[in-house]
Structure 1
Amino acid sequence: MPTNLPPAWVGWTVAMATGFFTVLTMLPANAETVSGNPGGQIVTFALHVAKLRAADEPVHFDGACDSACTLYLSLPVEQLCVTPRASFGFHLPYGVGARQNAVAANYLLSQYPDWVRQWIEEHGGLSHTLMRMEADEVAMHLPICVEVQA
């Protein structure tokens, strides 16, 4: 690690790396239904999505999936399905610091499939205001769930 980084940055990096390994052991890779998920830390969702991808586990959307939860959309289409109650809320990341938030926003956008990035761009881009993609728009790109597991 470069020595010219501020001590706070080094501490933050070490804390994040420790958190990565902790989350990997805590998050089971099971088929799951997403409903009413407000999001959370991008790192937590990114690790869980990676685990789901590796296990080829399906994800059913049956309600709101907001903020970092939208990273599930980076999974292969074959792993995803939506019900008429599904929706996705997008906004700029916040809470860490301007530089880290910009990195997080770029990461989110880089992970989304083209159709999501295009939808975000058509709706003015990510901002601090939540913008919602409803099920009818999502269903043009993802299959409809045959049966949702509770």
Structure 2
Amino acid sequence: MPRLLASLLLPLMLMVSPARADLHITRDHGGYVTEYKAKYERIRDRRERVIIDGICNSACTMVFGIVPLNKICVTPRASLGFHLAYYDKSFTFGIKVTSLEGTSELMGYYPQPVKDWINRNGGLTNDMKKIKNGAELWKIVDPCPEEF
């Protein structure tokens, strides 16, 4: 009888237990800061891992200030891109206008290693500043284990 009960309960328990999923970032060019903040807070709260396996530009890089660094890793294909924050072009007649408040908020999320890299590379500007896989990136985040 106990075996029968266990065989009936196991499938039920598997259906009820939350599935863990990793976020794989492969081609993310950014977007709205508020959307990324909410997305990464959900990932952090579910204790999921983030694997950066390609482009992570602009607001995508907020991951480093919201998800714990020990839950993030980079593959050899990883590339990060940083620039000043801008107002939504729909409010500025299609013109790219720098948002000092948005830039300050963005910088406020970054941990010190990210801020240090940005400062060593001339600070945030209108132009995208990229960091690719290698020693500079590994000062910010660990490389992924070979299983990825």
Identify whether the pair has TM-score above 0.5, normalized to the shorter chain.
yes
Residue 14 of structure 2 corresponds to: none
CA RMSD of aligned residues (A): 2.0
Gapped regions of structure 2 (runs ≥ 5): 1-19
8 Å Cα contact 1:30-1:52 kept in structure 2: no
Query: Which amino acid is 2:41 matched to?
Result: A
Residue 77 of structure 1 corresponds to: 69
Residue 125 of structure 1 corresponds to: 123
What's the CA shift for 1:99?
A: 9.2
- Structure number with greater Rg is 2
Structure 2 distance, partners of 1:40, 1:132, is 17
Query: Which amino acid is 2:26 matched to?
Result: S
Structure 2 distance, partners of 1:66, 1:84, is 16
TM-score normalized by structure 2? Answer: 0.74
Structure 2 distance, partners of 1:60, 1:113, is 18
1:1-150 counterparts in 2 under 5 A?
30-74=21-65, 75-96=67-88, 101-136=99-134, 137-146=136-145, 147-148=147-148
Query: Which amino acid is 2:143 matched to?
Result: I
8 Å Cα contact 1:45-1:68 kept in structure 2: yes
What's the CA shift for 1:55?
A: 1.1
Structure 2 distance, partners of 1:44, 1:78, is 22
Query: Which amino acid is 1:103 matched to?
Result: E
Percentage identity across paired residues of the two chains? 31
Change beyond 3 A, Cα 1:141–1:95: closer
Matched residues, number: 120
What's the CA shift for 1:141?
A: 3.2
Structure 2 distance, partners of 1:40, 1:92, is 13
Change beyond 3 A, Cα 1:100–1:46: farther
